[in-house]
Structure 1
Amino acid sequence: MSSDTGVLGVVGDEKVGGSNFYESNAMEAAREAAGRGHVATDQYGQALVEFDKAAERRLRLKIDLCIVPTVALIYLFCFIDRANIGNAKLAGFEKDLDLKGYDYNTVLSIFYISYIIFEIPCNIACKWMGPGWFLPASTLAFGICSLGTAFVHNIHAVSGVRFLLGIFEAGMLPGIAYYLSRWYRRSELAFRLALYIVMAPLAGAFGGLLASAILTLDHVGSLKTWRMIFAVEGIITIGLGLISFVTLTDRPETAKWLTSEEKALAIARLKSERVSTTEVLDKLDRTKTLRGIFCPITLSTSFIFLLNNITVQGLAFFAPTIVKTIYPNNSVVSQQLHTVPPYVVGAFFTVLFPLLSWRFDNRMVFFVISPPLMFTGYIMFLASTSPTVRYGATFLIASGAFAFGALCTAHVSNNVVSDTARSSAIGTTVMFGNVGGLISTWSFLPFDSPNYHIGNGLNLATSTMIMILGACLWWWMKSDNKKRSKIDVDQALRGLSQKQIQSLDWRNPGFRWRP
């Protein structure tokens, strides 16, 4: 039915291929669609290229196997190196560094200050350097910072190391999301993002197991207790960073593991979803950068991610503390292990919801149905002091909260056109999300223990607001798409050059919002 490229046609309504006689024409059609200076859509955003589904499945599986494992492992240790301070707290971190009052919260906050400041600059740097170099270099750098934390002796030293850790981790979540957008269609993206973002809840589970295992050791070199956690996990991260310099491929054109036909298919199928796009990877452009930042979908989704991250990061930093209040008489190792099951359940839903969003090609529905899981959990926390009820509540909260990382970044990526706008849109979303992370560091305060009415009440409010905002955003997208469908695109674009049309990005009247 198709050639090796999987392309059935490109020129007008005329289909090319469909038998061995036409294979060479089909291959040429794919190369033409993938080539610079050519578009793969008409001015209404309708694809001019058709693909063989079997060829796409083979290509997609190949990309999955070659790209996803490395970025998933990188993000696993990115999150472990960020959140292991919560495990270290149970093992004497505060006592050894003489942290008192709100010192622990201050140390957590310092990480987010640099994280927020460098979020967008790091994602722009990722585009400029290329993800194939930027992501391994960042991994190596934050691994060194994690290792350095094992040797701090006061609040000033740990604050400095955490500030540097924030700089080097700032580009990881948006950088990987941007990187995967170079490889996958819009409907496919959320699930692939979930395959690495699921490492956040798994990091909570694996981090607790790893910390428990490390603490059973007597020492690592001259390091003991919580210092061993940072040293061992930092060394593993450094090794992973060095390996990823070899294993990460920057973009389809440079992938040695793809044939020339597969490269053409990979590029052409991305172009077929981007209205008026003549090249998948454009040069950095100020206008397109601002289009990504100030897209209404970017700004609204960013605020939703901010609210959600108050819960996600709060769980990461305070889950061990919360479990300690539920099971105060258990051993430290037992308390560490009790943090694992809620994260495992959360990880399941982190993959399930984006997988369903891929199948139904709709992300907004999960913006509405996930928050009830979260606010039900916080209602249970506020309404009961039973350890069983409260421990059960952590499962509901994790189930509803963790999927938003994939859903939000995929949503903003899907609702801009150019590669530059996609980079800045994802960076903006994650930056806002980490403002939520900063807020989370002050949501569970010492004087509010053991019931933490302030922290639980705050998260009840944010999860409720997420549901309301998600429903409103979904309604607005449908409404605006109806307005766009009434515009005469030919008349609106008359007199504009190809460059001017591409600079319109989501303002192009032929563009439609993707829920």
Structure 2
Amino acid sequence: MGLLHKLRVVVWDEPPPTKAERRLVQKVDFFVLTYVCLMYWVNYLDRSNLNNAYVSGAREDLGFKGTQLNQITTIFYGGYLLGQIPNNLIMQKVPPRIWLPVTCLAWGFLTLGTAFTHHPWEIMVIRFFQGFFEASCFVGVQWILGSWYRPEEIGKRTAIFTSSGLAGSMFSGLMQGAIYKNLNGASGLAGWRWLFVIDFLITLPIAVYGLLCFPDTPTSTRARYLSHEERVLAVERLPEVSRKRGVLGFSLIKRVVLSWHWWAFVLLWVACSNTEMYSSNGIMQLWLKSTKDFSIEQVNYIPTAVSGMGIVATLVLGWYSDWNTSRRWHVGVLLSFTAIISGALMLSAPTRAARFAALILNGIQYSGQTVMFAWANDLIRGDDAKRSVVLASMNMFSAAVYLFWSLLFYNATQAPDWYEGNIAMMTMGGFLLLCTLGTLMLQKRQERSEGVPGGRHGSYDQYLEKKDVGDDDKA
């Protein structure tokens, strides 16, 4: 029994001390985690389908020229950027159980519209609004997870959540290959058009499921499957929040901008997210297409290895960050080196196998989505509104850099070598290392000023019982 208990702790952390809390966590895992994972899965499915469609006939059918594919990606991230903070602030007033499913439904209908476009400019318009509504998903869910789970629980759940998005990318490639083979020309629609239709049909029931079952936050939930006692326990089991959901106003700006959390975590995520560039720009698909040695099905199937690598790395490093909450910075250091290595291999690949290795290795960078947001969630638990804005700002500013970074260094006309992009990848890897160490130093300074015994690991829970964590701004 002792061995089984230790194994359980390693895989899924220490079980809650009471039967009531264990039952509560099981319900939260089922209703919260299942919906956010399904939503993020279909989010990535609807987002990554354009790269798959592009190499499966859309380029020729719609007459794409030059960097138009990259322009569409840039426009998408323009909408994505503009939607970050508004979406999270809306959830301070509108129940997340309504807003998240509604935005899911909105981007689903926009995905359907893409199936019936005839010019690249039409896709540009659609993708802008799709980006705005999709902005609600990632940072909104990061805030939701931080509202339901304890510090030692959140890393694993965030890992599962972000892995579901990578599974969406993987499934999109597999699905497009199968659609092209079996549905190309059916009912007069090209195979790439069927991809968007089927994606919509998958999105619709997931949005409905969210409207029916998603429980909101612990302080506002009205879920019938949670008893009154469980609702009270959901609030009491978490560190105390001194500034609760909905506390906005001018003071929020001061609490955010004058704290080190905003500056440090924004820079950290700008650096980390932009080391995903090979993967998020579909570089492997474009490279395989340019060689003319692979079939349409292979061009869609082979890049799923990148997402597979991302899923494995995300789960492993997410588990590690929960097992050792005081050393989440280790992951930032690791990702800085893997970015530099993948960039160096792409810059001077001696063989085709080396290029495959570099592009698949870059899938590891996706794990930063889990650990960096878990790190931020953990340090800003005392202020719901501030935590919401910081998480949204992290993604907003990373998208702002993405807007020009993608066009400058990873556009389709630079295939198949992306020389400038390889140098940019190594440079961003070095910047990530500096940001990781800088954030660690600021965290240690805050802990010393607040007298946190033994850092944030182990004894931090006892510290929270004695001190109002809402004054974390003073650092």
Q: Answer whether TM exceeds 0.5 for this pair.
A: yes
3-state DSSP class of the match of 1:435? helix
In 2, the alpha carbon distance for the partners of 1:213 and 1:324 equals 18
Give the 3 Å change call, closer, same or farther, for CA 165–290 of structure 1 in structure 2. farther
Equivalent residue number for residue 13 of structure 2: none
Equivalent residue number for residue 235 of structure 1: 201
Equivalent residue number for residue 264 of structure 1: 232
Give the 3 Å change call, closer, same or farther, for CA 292–505 of structure 1 in structure 2. farther
Cα deviation digits, residues 193-250 of structure 1 (max 9, x gap): 2211112322221111011111121345442131111111122112321222112111
Cα deviation digits, residues 25-59 of structure 1 (max 9, x gap): xxxxxxxxxxxxxxxxxxxxxxxxxx836654443
In 1, the alpha carbon distance for the partners of 2:186 and 2:94 equals 37
Equivalent residue number for residue 403 of structure 1: 367
- State which of 347, 372, 389 in structure 1 corresponds to 2:337: 372
Please tell me the root mean square deviation across aligned C-alpha atoms, in Å: 2.4
AA at the equivalent of 1:336? N
Judge which range, 316-325 or 104-113, deviates more: 316-325
Contact (CA 8 Å) 2:269, 2:372: kept in 1 or not?
Answer: yes
Cα deviation digits, residues 311-353 of structure 1 (max 9, x gap): 3254133234344168531101012111112211211111111
3-state DSSP class of the match of 2:275? helix
Equivalent residue number for residue 411 of structure 2: 445
Larger Rg: 1
In 1, the alpha carbon distance for the partners of 2:245 and 2:415 equals 51
TM-score, normalization: structure 2? 0.86
AA at the equivalent of 2:42? F
**1:284-303 equivalences in 2 (<5 Å):** 284-288=248-252, 290-292=254-256, 294-303=258-267
- State which of 181, 191, 195 in structure 2 corresponds to 1:225: 191
Equivalent residue number for residue 346 of structure 2: 381
Q: Does 1:274 align with 2:240?
A: yes
Contact (CA 8 Å) 1:304, 1:466: kept in 2 or not?
Answer: yes
Q: Does 1:335 align with 2:303?
A: no
Equivalent residue number for residue 494 of structure 1: none
1:428 CA drift (Å): 0.8
In 1, the alpha carbon distance for the partners of 2:248 and 2:189 equals 46
3-state DSSP class of the match of 1:127? coil
Equivalent residue number for residue 21 of structure 1: none
AA at the equivalent of 2:50? I
Identity %: 23
Equivalent residue number for residue 250 of structure 1: 216
Give the 3 Å change call, closer, same or farther, for CA 473–303 of structure 1 in structure 2. same
3-state DSSP class of the match of 1:170? helix
In 1, the alpha carbon distance for the partners of 2:387 and 2:171 equals 32
3-state DSSP class of the match of 2:276? helix
1:73 CA drift (Å): 0.9
Give the 3 Å change call, closer, same or farther, for CA 251–473 of structure 1 in structure 2. closer
**1:53-452 equivalences in 2 (<5 Å):** 55-216=20-181, 217-252=183-218, 253-270=221-238, 273-274=239-240, 277=242, 280-288=244-252, 290-292=254-256, 294-312=258-276, 314-324=278-288, 328-362=292-326, 363-399=328-364, 401-416=365-380, 417-442=382-407, 443-452=409-418
Give the 3 Å change call, closer, same or farther, for CA 411–293 of structure 1 in structure 2. farther
Contact (CA 8 Å) 2:281, 2:410: kept in 1 or not?
Answer: no
Judge which range, 420-429 or 445-454, deviates more: 445-454
3-state DSSP class of the match of 2:240? coil
**1:25-40 equivalences in 2 (<5 Å):** none
In 1, the alpha carbon distance for the partners of 2:151 and 2:253 equals 19
Give the 3 Å change call, closer, same or farther, for CA 290–187 of structure 1 in structure 2. farther
In 2, the alpha carbon distance for the partners of 1:503 and 1:317 equals 40
Q: Does 1:477 align with 2:450?
A: no
Contact (CA 8 Å) 1:281, 1:419: kept in 2 or not?
Answer: yes
TM-score, normalization: structure 1? 0.80
Equivalent residue number for residue 507 of structure 1: 473
- State which of 430, 434, 449 in structure 2 corresponds to 1:464: 430
Q: How many residues align?
A: 440
Contact (CA 8 Å) 1:128, 1:284: kept in 2 or not?
Answer: no
In 2, the alpha carbon distance for the partners of 1:178 and 1:293 equals 18
Equivalent residue number for residue 31 of structure 1: none
Unpaired runs of 5+ in structure 2? 1-15, 453-466
Cα deviation digits, residues 134-165 of structure 1 (max 9, x gap): 11000000000011011111122111111111
Give the 3 Å change call, closer, same or farther, for CA 424–219 of structure 1 in structure 2. same
In 1, the alpha carbon distance for the partners of 2:156 and 2:257 equals 23
Give the 3 Å change call, closer, same or farther, for CA 503–65 of structure 1 in structure 2. closer
AA at the equivalent of 1:86? N
In 2, the alpha carbon distance for the partners of 1:149 and 1:457 equals 34
Cα deviation digits, residues 46-105 of structure 1 (max 9, x gap): xxxxx8366544432331122111110111111121111110110122222222112221
In 2, the alpha carbon distance for the partners of 1:213 and 1:457 equals 36
Give the 3 Å change call, closer, same or farther, for CA 158–325 of structure 1 in structure 2. closer
Give the 3 Å change call, closer, same or farther, for CA 314–122 of structure 1 in structure 2. farther
Larger helix percent: 2
Judge which range, 323-332 or 189-198, deviates more: 323-332
Give the 3 Å change call, closer, same or farther, for CA 235–468 of structure 1 in structure 2. same
In 1, the alpha carbon distance for the partners of 2:191 and 2:202 equals 18
1:394 CA drift (Å): 2.0
AA at the equivalent of 1:266? A
3-state DSSP class of the match of 1:129? coil
Judge which range, 290-299 or 361-370, deviates more: 290-299
AA at the equivalent of 2:362? I
